[in-house]
Amino acid sequence: MANEFAARTSVEQVEEGAELAPKFDADGLIPAVTTAAQTGELLMVGYMNAEALRKTIETGEAHYWSRSRQVLWHKGATSGLVQKVVELMIDDDQDCVWLKVDVSGNGASCHVGYRTCFYRRVPLGAGSSKKLEFTESEKVFDPKVVYGDAPNPTKL
């Protein structure tokens, strides 16, 4: 696919310019950090290829590239939990984007059924047990009901 964004020609252009010149990695992907627009809570980190980024910009709804399923992924197409993009930001060297979104429905973003993918805390300190502490006690949906027998995207 031809690169539909600006070519990267100088550090100054990339860092201080107004041209959208995203850097896709060797797999053609750029990481996308998605937070809840209202609360600032981190919901998920996904990846976009050029098509996913373009569709996100043009439709105002989050599109990702599913690395586990190897398909363009319109978030919410299965679960109904579409992410409406309130603001889309790009970082200094344009190798990462930040989506601030409103989530429809019950506000869940995690395939396990929690509100956010980040529901466990790692204890800190020199003597840390490294035993994870759950910060969400109840799931907001039942993944079996929502996804049926679709394969779990988690890879070992």
Give the interface with its own copies as residue ranges (CB under 8 A): 5, 8-11, 14-20, 23, 31, 33, 35, 39-42, 44-45, 57-60, 85, 87-93, 96-98, 110-112, 114, 117-126, 128, 130-135, 152-156
Tokens standing for residue 5: 């964004």
CB of 8 or CB of 72, closer to its own copies: 8
Q: How far is the CB of 135 from its own copies (least distance, A)?
A: 7
CB of 42 or CB of 72, closer to its own copies: 42
| b/e 106-115 (16+ beta carbons within 10 angstroms → b) | ebbbbbebbb
DSSP code of residue 68: T
Q: How far is the CB of 105 from its own copies (least distance, A)?
A: 18
CB of 80 or CB of 153, closer to its own copies: 153
User: What residues form DSSP beta bridges with 87?
Assistant: 100
CB of 18 or CB of 145, closer to its own copies: 18
Which amino acid would we find at residue 27?
D
Q: How far is the CB of 49 from its own copies (least distance, A)?
A: 16
Residue labelled with tokens 């973003």: 109
What DSSP element (H or E) covers 32?
strand 30-36
DSSP code of residue 61: B
